[in-house]
Amino acid sequence: MLKRMSLIFLMGAFIISAGGCARKASIDDKVLASVSNRNITLRDFKARISQLPKYYQNIVDKDRRMYLDEMIMEALFHEEVVRKGVERDRDVRDLVAAAKKKIAVAKLLKSEVEDKVTVAEDDIRAFYESHKDDFKTPDLWRASHILVSNEKEAKDVLDALSRGESFEELAQAHSIDATASRGGDIGIFRTGQLIPEFEKACLELSVGQTSGVIHTQFGYHVIKLTDRRLPGIESYDLAKKRIESELKKANKKDLFDRYVSDLRNKYGVTVREDISQALDSIGNEKEKVAGK
């Protein structure tokens, strides 16, 4: 009897111990919504978000409730699809089969082509050294302006500048252009990008110098040249990423072409010589339908 009781107690202790080792409930198990007999948990929600491109993940983060509503709507549609047997429709089955084939092919190409594309640092450097003419930079200018609606206002601005007032502060206070909020700065430009009268005035200035009143179709400007960059060669560090991208693109095409060629040799491809008439008949059929 004592042995039997001891065995019962030992079994009870084991059950309690086993229960203590069971997985504890996680916040990810939290049910966010239910559609019919299916729950959408926090784990489901996070898994779906993780599959999105980074850009869309940032959008979802700003309105997670909206994305949950989209998941609910998708679940509702799928429930109706199942109950109405839409998945059994032949057209749907054909589309699903075609989609599965495309997904599988995309995965194959990723592993056999995209993931194998590499570009060595030496190749990037060699390309840069042998194509330096492609990385020439033109004359660049940078200017700020104050745009007002009449000549008198423009002359008042010039008077204020002559008294030592800040160009940037005057632009913020008086300019009617969108650049006023950044002190009149229009950014970097090259010849041909600005209206002729404005550009001509800029090119006649030295860095730090201010123009007189310049009249254009937009109004009256007072312009200050803030920077000028002489022609040169773009540095390797600046050009490197662009070169790497182009070389990868070229290497990817070469690798893809070789892969396709290998597959053609491996499995054999025969294109019949009399296919032209059959292919042309498609166009004729379309013309007949259009003629009706």
pLDDT at 263 over 80: yes
Assign 235 to helix, strand or coil: coil
Query: CB of 146 within 8 A of CB of 175?
Result: yes
In terms of phi and psi (left: phi > 0; alpha: psi -120 to 50; beta: otherwise), the region of 42 is alpha
What are 28-35's contacts with CB under 8 Å, separation 24+? 32/68, 33/68, 33/71, 33/72, 35/72, 35/75, 35/76, 35/79
Query: CB of 173 within 8 A of CB of 240?
Result: no
What is the four-CA torsion angle of 224, 229, 235, 237, rounded to 10 degrees?
-10
- Measure the CA angle with vertex 120, ends 114 and 121; round to 5°: 135
pLDDT at residue 69 in the model? 93
Model confidence band, residue 9 (pLDDT cutoffs 50, 70, 90): very low
How far are the Cα atoms of 67, 129, 165, 173, 175 from residue 181, in angstroms, in the given order? 36, 42, 17, 9, 9
Assign 272 to helix, strand or coil: coil
pLDDT by residue (tens digit) across 117-139?
999 999 999 999 999 999 988 89
In the chain the domains, ranked by start, together with CATH numbers, are 24-87 (no CATH), 139-230 (3.10.50.40)
pLDDT by residue (tens digit) across 45-96?
999 999 998 888 889 889 999 999 999 999 999 999 999 999 899 999 999 9
Task: Identify which of 136, 159, 271, 286 has the alpha carbon closest to the alpha carbon of residue 213.
Answer: 159
pTM of the predicted protein model: 0.56
C-alpha gyration radius of the chain: 35
Neighbouring CB atoms inside 10 A of 67's CB total 19
**Please, what is the average pLDDT of the chain?**
88
pLDDT at 3 over 70: no
DSSP 268: -
Strand runs labelled E in the chain = 31-35, 38-41, 136-137, 140-148, 185-189, 210-216, 219-229, 232-233
